[in-house]
Amino acid sequence: MDQPIEFFSEDIDFELNNPAQVSEWIAEVIERHGQELSGLTYIFCSDDYLHQINVDYLDHDTLTDIITFNNADFDGIIEGDIFISVDRVRDNAQDHGTDFEDELHRVIIHGVLHLLGFNDKTEEEETLMHKEEDSSLSLRRF
């Protein structure tokens, strides 16, 4: 079954490993939270590209690993654009002593969790977000 999830890259040469399996995993996480997947677009990019989006759209002059835009018109529907800096993910994986692909999957699902209503502004929210990330990562079968 085709999932309404697309993966693109902007200003870098990057291809996601196992896109069909990653899509199935993302859809499963969304379904487990009782929401309906309408459409997701992932855009993998560089630090510079994502920094400019951060400045232009969010008025934040900082580097980040992910920016999530919620495009859903209704509650219970998941639709959005998720921009991920491959440069940040690579640096974060090295800083945390983890595998690049594991860190990438954590960031991929982090964006979905934001669309599902999870936040990470406070310490309590951040703790819950990490718990949900870990729970979601444990569902991977690839």
Please state the residue numbers annotated as binding site.
Answer: 110, 114, 120
* Residue at token pair 């090295």: 94
**Dihedral sign of CA atoms 59, 87, 16, 34 in order:** negative
Q: Which residues are annotated as a binding site for Zn(2+)?
A: 110, 114, 120
Give the pair of three-digit tokens for residue 55.
């400045």
DSSP calls for 82-124: EEEEHHHHHHHHHHHT--HHHHHHHHHHHHHHHHTT---SSHH
